[in-house]
C-alpha cells in the first residue's frame, strides 16, 4: 500500500506517510469487519490519528468504478475513528449502490480524503484541484471532493454546476443570492492499483 496525492491541502496539516498507510490499513480492516460481521478493528494510538477531523472514504473497483463513498465534513471524533466508521459505511450504507459483498473485498481500492475546515467561498475563488465544495440552498445540500473535478477534467463553472446538481438543484443554482457556498481542502491518498 502506498500514498498518492491527487489534491492538495493548503492548511499545513499534512499527514506523514506512515500515518497515511496506517489509515489505509485501518480502513481496509474496517471494511473487512463490516462485510464479514466481525468486530471493528481498534484504532492505533498514533498522534496523527487523534485530532478531530472530517473525512471521506471512497471505495473503487480495480477498474476504477466507484463502489461507495461516505464521509463527514466535520467530526468531533478522532480522525482514526472517523475513517474506521466511514470505511464501513462506504461498503454497506452508500444508498447509491448495493452493499459490497465479501467476495469483492480483494478487488477494492481504498481512497481517503482527510478534510480541512469549511469556509465560505465566492464562486470566482474556487480553485480546481485544491477546493472541495459544499453547496446549500432551499433545504438541500451537495458535496463534491476536490479530486472529482480533477478526475473529470472540469473547469470551475462545471464543478459548481455539478455540485448544484448533486444537491438536487438546477446546475446554475450556485449563481443565486440565496445559495451558500463553502470550500474545504483535503489530503487525498489511496492504495496503489495493481
Q: Which three cell numbers stand for residue 22?
A: 496506517
Q: Do 47 and 126 belong together in one domain?
A: no
Q: pTM score, two decimals?
A: 0.88
Average pLDDT over residues 38-67: 91
Which CATH number is 28's domain given?
3.30.700.20
Domain presence at residue 136: yes
What does the mean pLDDT of the chain come to?
Answer: 91
Q: Do 96 and 178 belong together in one domain?
A: no
pLDDT digits (tens, 9 = 90+) for 91-147: 999 999 999 999 999 999 999 999 999 999 999 999 999 999 999 999 999 999 999
- Distance between CA 78 and CA 108 in Å, rounded? 25
Q: What pLDDT is recorded for position 66?
A: 95
Q: Do 97 and 42 belong together in one domain?
A: yes
Is residue 3's pLDDT more than 50? no
| Range with lowest mean pLDDT among 41-45, 102-106, 179-183 | 41-45
Q: Do 112 and 136 belong together in one domain?
A: no
Range 52-84 burial, b when 16+ CB lie within 10 A, else e = ebbbbbbbbeeeeeebbbbbbbebebbbbbbbb
How many domains does the chain divide into?
Answer: 2
Q: Do 39 and 107 belong together in one domain?
A: yes
Domain presence at residue 6: no
Question: Which strands, in side-by-side order, build the sheet including 55-61?
Answer: 66-72, 55-61, 108-115, 186-190
Confidence of residue 45 (pLDDT cuts 50, 70, 90): confident
DSSP letters for 37-86: TPPPPPPP--GGGTSB--EEEEEEETTS-EEEEEEESS-SSBHHHHHHHH
Amino acid at each position: 500500500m502506498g500514498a498518492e496525492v491527487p489534491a492538495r491541502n493548503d492548511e499545513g496539516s499534512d499527514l506523514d506517510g506512515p500515518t497515511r498507510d496506517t489509515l489505509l490499513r485501518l480502513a481496509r480492516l474496517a471494511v473487512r469487519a463490516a462485510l464479514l460481521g466481525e468486530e471493528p478493528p481498534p484504532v492505533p494510538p498514533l498522534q496523527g490519528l487523534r485530532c478531530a477531523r472530517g473525512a471521506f472514504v471512497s471505495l473503487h473497483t480495480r477498474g476504477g468504478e466507484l463502489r461507495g463513498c461516505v464521509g463527514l465534513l466535520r467530526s468531533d471524533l478522532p480522525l482514526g475513528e472517523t475513517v474506521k466508521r466511514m470505511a464501513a459505511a462506504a461498503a454497506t450504507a452508500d444508498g447509491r449502490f448495493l452493499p459490497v459483498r465479501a467476495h469483492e473485498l480483494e478487488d477494492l481500492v481504498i481512497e481517503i480524503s482527510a478534510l480541512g475546515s469549511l469556509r465560505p467561498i465566492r464562486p470566482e475563488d474556487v480553485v480546481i484541484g485544491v477546493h472541495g465544495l459544499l453547496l446549500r440552498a432551499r433545504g438541500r445540500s451537495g458535496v463534491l471532493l476536490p479530486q472529482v473535478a480533477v478526475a473529470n477534467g472540469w473547469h470551475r463553472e462545471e464543478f459548481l454546476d455539478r455540485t448544484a446538481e448533486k444537491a438536487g438543484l438546477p446546475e446554475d443554482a450556485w449563481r443565486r443570492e440565496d445559495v451558500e457556498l463553502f470550500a474545504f481542502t483535503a489530503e487525498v491518498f489511496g492504495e496503489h492499483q495493481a
